[in-house]
Amino acid sequence: MKKRRLGKTNIMVSEVGFGGIPIQRITQNEAKDVIRFAVDNGVNFIDTARGYGISEEYIGNALCGIRKEVYIATKSMARTKDAMKEDIERSLKNLKTDYIDLYQLHNVKDEETFKQVMSEDGALEALLDAKREGKVLHIGITSHSLDFLKKILEYDVFETIMYPYNIVEDQAEELFKEANKRDIGIIVMKPLAGGALEDSELAISYILNNKNISTVIPGMESIEQVKQNISASYIEFNDEMMKKCIEIKKKYTNSFCRRCGYCMPCPQGIDIPFCFILKGYYDRYDLKEWATERYNGMKSHASDCLGCGICETRCPYNLKIREMLKEVVESFGF
């Protein structure tokens, strides 16, 4: 497996990392086999999160005896210092380790949230304390907001960023160039566009063709998926493959949410992009219970849409958002 430098962390990570969301669907023993197979075949970067159910525990148990062979990244939605401190300790316990290589502020999507995590009693303070104590080695941030991440680049404290990038969603290319100039590591999530793309080898090869990217983290729950995903590291991306990617992008141009957030705010308080994200997990990843729990926790739901259409006038991709929200209702029932 080829390796790339993860920005100013100076960590050399495998081009293809291990995304820890889907292993919630399998058993501990199965997860151990999948993770061990990935590590044996060159994968040395494993990403999970506090919010991924049993994922941290599965990974911690699977890595017993080989902890030093990999770099572990996790993340938390905690916004206050106390909550983040608690999550760090829980992650350390779950992952059965004395330190976490990369701890990330998870899904920071707007100025209000950012101000909270950066405040005196905000989540960042807990991460900085943990870094001084050696419990966290590096600090990163993840977001689905392109405009917001552009502002994040100004803060030296963040050593990595994580953002969706794939054949359909290529709007972050300029952001990646700037991040690379600033020596910020770039971790790509959603390489298969939330499960919309079927050819993982082609999809990951497309991503790795972008030399600004440090690593891509497709979710994996089987040895076969590991084989398919890591095979992309050994393929030379060519013009014929690019033609296929262009055709795929055309197919999804007017039907795929890029999570840019320009449709917001909704007069009914619906978090439109998040509705589409959860529908993807529900339908394509078969994480029905996990997605339903989060959908139920939303203040407003797709069924609250009154069909005013304001969101569609703002969407730069001309998506038929009202119709797409009806599809969300069909998945979740309301």
- Which positions are annotated as active-site residues? 52
What's the token pair of residue 313?
């006038």
- SS3 for 2? coil
What's the token pair of residue 19?
């995304």
Buried b (16+ CB within 10 A) or exposed e, 263-295: bbebebebbbbbbbbbbbbbbebebeebbbebb
CB 205 within 8 A of CB 241: yes
Q: Residue type for 147, please?
A: D
Q: Which residues pair with 152 in a beta bridge?
A: none
Q: Residue type for 198, please?
A: E
CB 195 within 8 A of CB 282: no
